[in-house]
Amino acid sequence: MVRSAAVPRTHFALALLLLLPSLAPAQPAAETWYTERLMTSGAAPTIEHLWSKGPWLRSELVVGGQPIVQLVKGNRYLIVNRLERKGIAIQRSPLAIAHDAAGKRPFADDRDRIVAAGGERVGSQEIGGRQCEVYRVTDGDGRRETCVTSTGLPVRTEMWHRSSGSSSTASYLTWASHVPLPDEFFDPDPGFVIEEYTYDGYLAAVQKGPVGPAPPLHSYLLHGK
């Protein structure tokens, strides 16, 4: 009878260590979303396209004929003009970066914001053939109301601003999830000229006048509030 040679314990331990990564559970892929929303107020209506991958954001809209892209990824908030191929990158506040840990979709959390401000469900209605639940809050700033589907996706959000007496509406025209989005989709195109700002440096600069191609449309992702 032929006996097999004993495997040294050190070799066995090394083989086990090499095997462990393959046994570890795979990390779930970041959730992706897309929506198209129509924003109306006193100015001309604007269409915005929004994508997300986990807490990352890409927004595209046209302002005065200029294609503006806003990107939020990691510790930077970028605003670029695709026609002029230039823009700015702002360091996000520590509070805004900390919120990313939850991995939530970084836009269209209208109901959560209304409820957090003390709002509550006030009824239900049908908008464009879609049934939704209405949530409303009235406070010193004015009145905010959103109608969301049973899965929490907003269909329409309306805001009335007490100080100016003006109103605005965001209508979410379409939704899609599990959209295949590469990581580089949330980076500016190669060759763009980007001017960097610290968070405090940007706050100081905007006190003197407009900075960059446009203001941060999703300012809560810059400031954390």
Asked if residue 46 belongs to a domain, the reply is: yes
Domain that holds residue 81: 32-223
Asked if residue 15 belongs to a domain, the reply is: no
Lowest mean pLDDT segment, chosen from 12-16, 48-52, 108-112, 220-224: 12-16
- Read out DSSP for 170-209? EEEEEEEES----GGGGSPPTT-EEEEE-HHHHHHHHTTS
* Residues 166, 89: Cα–Cα separation, whole Å: 31
Q: What is the pTM of this model?
A: 0.84
Asked if residue 100 belongs to a domain, the reply is: yes
Asked if residue 1 belongs to a domain, the reply is: no
Whole-number percent of the chain with pLDDT over 70: 88
pLDDT of residue 28: 65
What's the CATH number where 189 sits?
Answer: 2.50.20.10
Split into its structural domains, the chain has a count of 1
Asked if residue 119 belongs to a domain, the reply is: yes
pLDDT of residue 3: 47
Query: What is the pLDDT of the chain when averaged over all its residues?
Result: 89
- pLDDT higher than threshold 90 for residue 164: no
* Residues 47, 135: Cα–Cα separation, whole Å: 24
Asked if residue 218 belongs to a domain, the reply is: yes
Asked if residue 98 belongs to a domain, the reply is: yes
Within 10 Å of residue 70's Cβ, how many Cβ atoms?
Answer: 24
What DSSP character marks residue 215? -
pLDDT of residue 213: 96
Mean pLDDT across the stretch 75-86?
Answer: 97
The model's confidence at residue 4, banded by pLDDT at 50, 70 and 90, is very low
* Residues 220, 99: Cα–Cα separation, whole Å: 10
Asked if residue 157 belongs to a domain, the reply is: yes
The model's confidence at residue 27, banded by pLDDT at 50, 70 and 90, is low
